[in-house]
């Protein structure tokens, strides 16, 4: 571990000043980070620490997303980082970001590659902020507001695409196209994400029996819930509960 931290320190020292990290240190609405090529956090600001329930940067420095976050979120963040390490720039991407209470919220995220003085990509940097803080993302989000709100309120029930389309006076096809443009997923996939994120939260934040959680979230029975959960999280609901209750601040 000492060698790993030493590597991180050398990488950080080589970055120079162009990333402007100090701009983000005292902005409560903006979470800022730098990761090395192995996905380890090199630098985080106070807003990012607070979001994940930490007080000391040492709790995150040297760790990866898979060390700190539920599998379904970590996998997406790692995939994005790989894009950036290939030289891609991510601008204003709408995505679900985890919080310390195990809930999630929509954020607008930007990620860029960081290069050494020789021009080699050696790290990634990113910021993410609540969707209301981004005018462009907020406009996309608010346009679909009635649909998003309806799914949020009724995600445990069947998804009525025709009803959702009528809320915006669109055809079902137009609704699907607009929703995918804004969020990168379909309304049905969004509903499934909401169910799964709420399941993750309830498993850790409550001691409700797993069967009751499954029924409350619209799954037909315990077995159906377990199959869907394993497919999404790569572990069973019980294993998720046991793992993350050992880390109450994550």
CATH of domain 144-244: 1.10.10.60
User: What pLDDT score does 1 carry?
Assistant: 46
Note the pLDDT tens digit of each residue in 237-250.
999 888 777 554 44
User: What pLDDT score does 246 carry?
Assistant: 59
Structure tokens that stand for 10 in this block: 């050398």
Into which CATH architecture does domain 2-133 fall?
2-Layer Sandwich (3.30)
User: What pLDDT score does 57 carry?
Assistant: 86
Residue 232: strand, helix, or coil: helix
> Cα-flanking dihedrals φ and ψ of residue 33, to 5°?
-155, 160
Q: Give residue limits of the domains in the chain.
A: 2-133, 144-244
Structure tokens that stand for 242 in this block: 């046991």
Note the pLDDT tens digit of each residue in 122-144.
999 999 987 754 455 556 666 78
Q: Are 56 and 14 in contact (CB under 8 A)?
A: no
Separation of first and last alpha carbons in the chain: 21
Question: How sure is the predictor about 23, in pLDDT bands with cuts at 50, 70 and 90?
Answer: low
Note the pLDDT tens digit of each residue in 213-239.
999 999 989 999 999 999 888 789 999
Note the pLDDT tens digit of each residue in 162-215.
999 999 999 999 999 988 887 778 999 889 888 888 888 888 888 999 999 999
User: What pLDDT score does 140 carry?
Assistant: 60
d(CA 175, CA 167) in angstroms, rounded, equals: 10
Residue 45: strand, helix, or coil: coil
Structure tokens that stand for 234 in this block: 């790569």
Note the pLDDT tens digit of each residue in 61-111.
999 988 887 776 777 788 889 999 999 998 877 777 777 666 667 788 899
Question: Would you put residue 93 in left (φ > 0), alpha (ψ -120 to 50) or beta?
Answer: beta
In the block, tokens 């000043």 appear at 17
User: pTM, whole model, 2 decimals?
Assistant: 0.58
Residue 129: strand, helix, or coil: strand
Degrees to nearest 5, angle at CA 227 with 226 and 231:
115
């Amino acid at each position: 571990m000492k060698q790993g931290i030493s590597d991180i320190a050398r990488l950080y020292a080589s970055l120079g000043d162009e990333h402007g990290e100090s701009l983000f240190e005292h902005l409560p609405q903006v979470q800022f980070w730098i990761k090395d090529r192995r996905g380890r956090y090199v630098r985080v600001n106070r807003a990012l620490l607070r979001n994940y329930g930490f007080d000391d940067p040492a709790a995150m420095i040297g760790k990866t997303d898979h060390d700190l976050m539920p599998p379904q979120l970590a996998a997406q963040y790692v995939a994005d980082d790989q894009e950036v390490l290939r030289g891609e720039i991510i601008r204003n991407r709408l995505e679900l970001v985890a919080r310390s209470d195990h809930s999630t919220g929509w954020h607008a995220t930007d990620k860029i590659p960081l290069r050494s003085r020789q021009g080699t990509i050696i790290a990634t940097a990113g910021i993410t902020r609540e969707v209301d803080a981004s005018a462009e993302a907020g406009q996309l989000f608010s346009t679909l507001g009635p649909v998003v709100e309806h799914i949020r309120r009724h995600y445990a029930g069947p998804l009525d695409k025709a009803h959702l389309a009528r809320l915006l006076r669109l055809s079902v096809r137009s609704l699907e196209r607009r929703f995918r443009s804004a969020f990168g997923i379909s309304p049905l996939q969004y509903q499934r994400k909401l169910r799964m994120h709420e399941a993750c939260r309830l498993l850790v934040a409550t001691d409700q029996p797993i069967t009751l959680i499954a029924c409350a979230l619209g799954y037909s029975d315990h077995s159906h819930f377990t199959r869907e959960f394993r497919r999404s999280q790569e572990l069973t609901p019980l294993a998720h509960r046991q793992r993350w209750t050992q880390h109450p601040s994550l």
